[in-house]
Amino acid sequence: MGFCVGYAKANVVILPKSLSDDFLLFCTRNPKACPLLEVGDVGFPHLSKIAPDADIRTDLPKYRVFRSGFEPTVVTDIESFWRDDLVTFALGCSDIFDQKLIEYGITVQYLEHNKIVPMYETSIPCQPSGVFKGPLVVSMRPIKGSDISRAVLLSARFPVAHGTPVHIGDPSAIGIEKLERVDYGDPPEMEPGDVPVFWACAVTPQAVALRSNPELMITHMPGHMLITDVPIQALSTL
Amino acid sequence: MGFCVGYAKANVVILPKSLSDDFLLFCTRNPKACPLLEVGDVGFPHLSKIAPDADIRTDLPKYRVFRSGFEPTVVTDIESFWRDDLVTFALGCSDIFDQKLIEYGITVQYLEHNKIVPMYETSIPCQPSGVFKGPLVVSMRPIKGSDISRAVLLSARFPVAHGTPVHIGDPSAIGIEKLERVDYGDPPEMEPGDVPVFWACAVTPQAVALRSNPELMITHMPGHMLITDVPIQALSTL
């Protein structure tokens, strides 16, 4: 989690060309969950702009493979799954503003505890596109009431890292029953005065894959992103 | 409350010159509570920049008069209290961003109900200056969890209207026991999904006056501000 401070991490989604056009539209319809950092060329297992030296088939720590009719599996490389018709999407990651929060004195609990950020499927539906439909996934950070304004302003500077929180406060208002019951990542430890603050999360395509049943979709394993060559500061709009 | 939409309202504090230098320092030490719009010349009952045609002795709807050894009184003009050594301070007012919140589709309950915003003395101490010391007063707006990010961003554009919230969520963390028990203004009606969002408030000098016991301090009555000639848009920094 603490690797390569200063460089942006990216969430990854890989799809056959037969599905990738619909997914591209899905990203543009759900930009807070799926902010596009780069879309690769068909069959090309590299991202020329954000990680020119990386091989997308081997350079993520862990991958999840979704295949129609199979349970998702976790693998450490995808060379055996690679095909000439695959398209790679790199989506922004909340790790980008996490580093800003820390820089400005806001505690980011999951990083302090060396864990993975807690993530939840919500009752908020994504805008569908083709077969792609499902719930918005959010990541949650417990933040002190006096720090929330600053957290909102800092994350607003990074629209490619999901921008501002989609929800602040009562988890049940977005369909989350218990904060301890995470769908991805590690459970948080809420302390007195902590308010749950929710950001859209690029694990959303994985929740969508479970409903959409694509022939093949390969993603990063939640918490195990691609490390890019892009300095975080280069992604700030302000 | 709904008067003169589009023009900024101002909180007012009037003090003898013997106290006004300390109060000016108090304002600069507590800029979120006491953002300076204008400071008048000694003995001059006008504000040349923000309300050139107004007479500060008659043109507020209601005044509060604090005198050492007396209970504060409420009057509708201060002509009988005016002296040649009085200095007028105009401080920014949250009404300025309220109008922005409405423009961007966020409900501002107290305005909808034609009431005065709920205000509370907190456990947060102001930075003292001379005799001036006391608690930070905050105003509170109930806001839906999905609207808070936008409310933070909109209010950030108006540092002279108290800027971003000082606290979001749990009232007890800043010493407020019950939201129904207001110190100034009208009690709020919290609805399901509402999060209490707290902004610094320029009624703070009145709470300070009760502790500091100045020889003479005249203020606006909470909710009864000076209407200036300044368009709200002119106060936006972004």
Q: Is the pLDDT of residue B208 over 60?
A: yes
Average pLDDT value for residue range B22-29: 94
Q: Is the Cβ pair B193, A173 closer than 8 Å?
A: yes
For chain B positions 82-141, those within 8 Å of chain A (CB to CB) are: none
Number of Cβ atoms within 10 Å of the Cβ of A112? 10
Q: Is the Cβ pair B166, A149 closer than 8 Å?
A: yes
DSSP E strands, chain B = 7-16, 36-39, 63-67, 73-75, 86-92, 119-125, 135-144, 167-168, 194-200, 216-220, 226-231
Q: Is the Cβ pair B153, A164 closer than 8 Å?
A: yes
B107-137: b (≥16 Cβ within 10 Å) or e: ebbbbeeebbbbbbbbebebebbebbebbbb
The reported pLDDT for the residue numbered B1 is 44
Residues of B in contact with A146 (CB under 8 A): 166-167, 173
Q: Is the Cβ pair A195, B170 closer than 8 Å?
A: yes
For chain B positions 185-214, those within 8 Å of chain A (CB to CB) are: 192-193, 195, 198
Query: CA of A165, closest CA in chain B: separation in Å?
Result: 6
Average pLDDT value for residue range A98-115: 93
Which is higher by pLDDT, B197 or B5? Answer: B197
Percent of chain A residues topping a pLDDT of 90: 91
Residues of B in contact with A193 (CB under 8 A): 169-170, 173
CB A108 within 8 A of CB A194: no
Q: Is the Cβ pair B168, A149 closer than 8 Å?
A: yes
Q: Is the pLDDT of residue B6 over 90?
A: no
Residues paired with A231 in a beta bridge: A7
Residues of B in contact with A150 (CB under 8 A): 164
* Average predicted confidence (pLDDT) for chain A: 94
A27/A45 Cα distance (integer angstroms): 20
Q: Is the pLDDT of residue B17 over 70?
A: yes
Nearest residue, CB atoms, A149 vs list B144, B145, B165: B165
CB A185 within 8 A of CB A117: yes
Residues of A in contact with B152 (CB under 8 A): 148-149, 152-153, 164
Q: Is the Cβ pair A169, B173 closer than 8 Å?
A: no
Q: Report pTM.
A: 0.85
CA-based diameter of chain A, in Å? 53
Q: Is the pLDDT of residue A1 over 50?
A: no
CB B225 within 8 A of CB B9: yes
A174 interfacial to chain B (CB closer than 8 Å):
yes
Residues of B in contact with A149 (CB under 8 A): 152, 156, 164-166, 168
Residues B149-184 pLDDT 10s: 999 999 999 999 999 999 999 999 999 999 999 999
CB A112 within 8 A of CB B131: no
Residues B92-120 pLDDT 10s: 999 888 989 999 999 999 999 999 999 99
Residues A39-68 pLDDT 10s: 999 999 999 999 999 999 999 999 999 999
Predicted complex ipTM: 0.77
